[in-house]
Amino acid sequence: MIKTTFLKYTVLALGICLALPSVAAPLDTGGLRLDKVVLVMRHGIRPATDTAALQSWSAKPWPAFDVADGQLTDHGRAAIVLLGQWQRGLLDSLGLFKAGQCPPAQAAYVWSSPVARTQATSAALVQGMFPGCNVPVNHAQKSQDRLFHATENGLAPLDPARTKAAILHAMGGSLDAARERYAAPVLAMQHVVGVPSTCEQKTCALSEQPWALKEKVGVVKLSSPLGVGAGMSETFRMQYAEGLPLDQVAFGQGRSAEEVSRLMALRSAKYELSNHVPYIAQRGASQLLGQILLALQPTAAGSPPGTQWLAFVGHDTNIAQLRTLLGFDWKIAEYPENDAAPGGTLLFERWVDDHTGEQFVSVAYVAQSMDQLRSLSNAPPYQVQYPGYAGKALMPLKGFVAEMEKRIDPSATEVQQYLSQ
């Protein structure tokens, strides 16, 4: 029997020591054997997905990355490789794989969002974990992906009335309440980016952008400064993580991870009014959570490929919505609370007691800090343990599945099709 506790947390020791006090105590898995890992990862470092949109609200020119908008950078690829190497070392120490060897046939499977940056992230993760092993990256066609893009592609459309009510509740009851709540961070962002002298909008000042809930063809969207402001916040974080010169990060206002984090308030605000709203999260993530639960069950019909290691590689929206369904709060290094970091990963581990046959599951969020990303540090990432739905981090598998199934909207799920290995 592998002495899992010592091995696992020797590997994680540095990450735990560096982490903030909110990080949970190490999980005691003594006497248990790890026999399955399912993970959900966000893609790595990228430029803005639409630099022109940010520029239209800025008086200052945005610095360029070395790749096109929305694509994984070379630096981001290297950071994901390091994350993969760390994870492989951990899993080797726990006996899931044999050190230095390719996984056996049918032992590892990757299912990616069809977006290019997630496919590139998947390839980097495989390179770090299984170098030279030809583990393929699988994905659906973009228009057919209803796992990572369930709402956009028609599996889980949002009811307009319920969406409006849910967003207004998150706002504090009204658009005016939200405008007042977020006025200070909007003005702070405007101070950083400036106000352009000319623009195509009715107003050139971010703080003067009107707030409205608009419905078009049955889809409700929030129009406000938060959309572009969140994009600015995220791009500042990506600039720092990418290693851009500090006089370019947030136009010289992001010279440390702490300074960058303070400029991310509008990103947090956007998520408070979207993917962290329970109704929106439940509709968007029920299919993905359902697939995770199927994967964790040994003999469930219609499950994903029954591999020892299964990776779903998607987007921050997927992480945020799953976090909301789980009821899992975290704080990683300097990031804002509940932030979905580049390469950040929800890690589901299945443990077995070989004497009794009992199975357990643990869940953690793992991410490299901004400084680890910037320096391409090979130190272990930070880790926060899910405290469990009933206050126990190591949960009986049957109980975990039963509890999480209550949180799934069955009308937002379907039989998922995977490519065969």
What pLDDT does residue 28 have?
Answer: 85
Over the stretch 155-184, which tens digit does the pLDDT of each residue have?
Answer: 999 999 999 999 999 999 999 999 999 999
What pLDDT does residue 126 have?
Answer: 98
Separation CA 86–CA 82 (nearest Å):
6
What pLDDT does residue 420 have?
Answer: 67
Q: Yes or no: is domain 161-269 CATH 3.40.50.1240?
A: yes
Residue listed under structure tokens 């993905």: 288
Q: What share of the chain is helix, strand, coil (3-state, %, to 5)?
A: 40, 15, 45
What pLDDT does residue 303 have?
Answer: 85
Mean per-residue pLDDT, 323-335: 98
- Assign a CATH topology to domain 4-58+69-155+276-412: Rossmann fold (3.40.50)
Separation CA 360–CA 318 (nearest Å):
24
Q: Is the dihedral of CA 176, 178, 180, 185 positive or negative?
A: negative
- State whether residue 395 is helix, strand or coil: strand
Separation CA 25–CA 362 (nearest Å):
13
Over the stretch 10-55, which tens digit does the pLDDT of each residue have?
Answer: 333 333 333 333 444 568 888 999 999 999 999 999 999 999 999 9
Please report which confidence band the pLDDT of residue 191 belongs to, taking 50, 70 and 90 as the band edges: very high
What pLDDT does residue 12 have?
Answer: 34
pTM of the predicted structure, to 2 decimals = 0.92
- State whether residue 110 is helix, strand or coil: strand
Q: Is the dihedral of CA 334, 340, 342, 345 positive or negative?
A: positive
CA distances (Å), origin 166, targets 154, 174, 241, 308, 326? 20, 11, 34, 39, 18
Average pLDDT score, the chain: 92
CA angle 159, 160, 165 (to 5 degrees): 100
What are the structure tokens assigned to 290, written together?
């359902």
Q: Looking at the chain, which residues constitute the CATH 3.40.50.1240 domain(s)?
A: 4-58+69-155+276-412, 161-269
For the chain, what is the largest distance between any 2 Cα atoms, rounded to a whole number of angstroms?
Answer: 72
Please report which confidence band the pLDDT of residue 197 belongs to, taking 50, 70 and 90 as the band edges: very high
